[in-house]
Amino acid sequence: MNSFKGKIADIKTNGSLSLITIQVESVLFTTIVIETPDTASYLKQGNSVTIIFKETEVIISKGIDQPSISIQNKTVGEILDIKKGALLSTLTIDTTIGKIIAVVTSDSIDQLQLYVGEKITTMIKATEIMLSK
């Protein structure tokens, strides 16, 4: 479980859905939740919240130039460690917001020819980020 502390920068609500923008360090993360400021009191601009996302939901892109892709949440970093398994591998990435752990298939590591020390972009979909007080 990757978790980072941030502050709610913006809330857009439509019906019972809310799009929440959270600032973690200098990076903005967006998440969508089935809550509104009326149903969840912690949804308030300026409130500090923790964003949580699963290691298996982290997407890796080679290089640090921004790819044109629908994913809003991106942060650049450097690979600190690669633990390779037969099917899955664990990457530890040092990013601007802190250490992110990613679990990806070992095949994709081979295809992308990732190596320790390489600069990469990590991405996470807005629907995969959970909030916690």
Partner 1 sequence: MIHIALQKKLTAVQGDILLDINIDIDQGDLITIYGDSGAGKTSILKMMAGLLQADKGCIICNRNTWLDTEKGICLKPQQRKIGFVFQDYALFPNMTVKENLFYALEKRQSKKIIDELIDIIELGDLQDRKPQKLSGGQKQRVALARALVRKPEILMLDEPLSALDNKMRAKLQDYILKVHKQYNLTTLLISHEISEVIKMSDIVCIIENGKIVKQGSPIGIFTTKQVSGKFQFSGEIVHIEKEDVIYIVTILIGTNFVKTIAEATEIQTMSIGDKVIVASKAFNPLIQKVN
Q: Which stretches of the chain bind partner 1, using CB under 8 A?
A: 1, 32-35, 40, 42, 52, 54-56, 83-90, 101, 103, 127-133
Least separation in angstroms between CB 46 and partner 1: 18
Q: Which is nearer to partner 1, 9 or 103 (CB)?
A: 103
**Strand 59-62 to 27-33 pairing:** unpaired
Nearer to partner 1, 97 or 101 (CB): 101
In the complex with partner 1, the residue whose CB is nearer, 61 or 92, is 92
User: Min. distance of Cβ 31 from partner 1 in angstroms?
Assistant: 8
Rounded to whole angstroms, the Cα distance separating 89 from 82 reads 7
End-to-end CA distance of the chain: 15
Which stretches of 15-58 are assigned E, i.e. beta strand?
17-24, 27-33, 48-53
User: Distance (Å, rounded) from C-alpha 34 to C-alpha 65?
Assistant: 33
Q: Nearest approach, Cβ of 65 to partner 1 (angstroms)?
A: 29
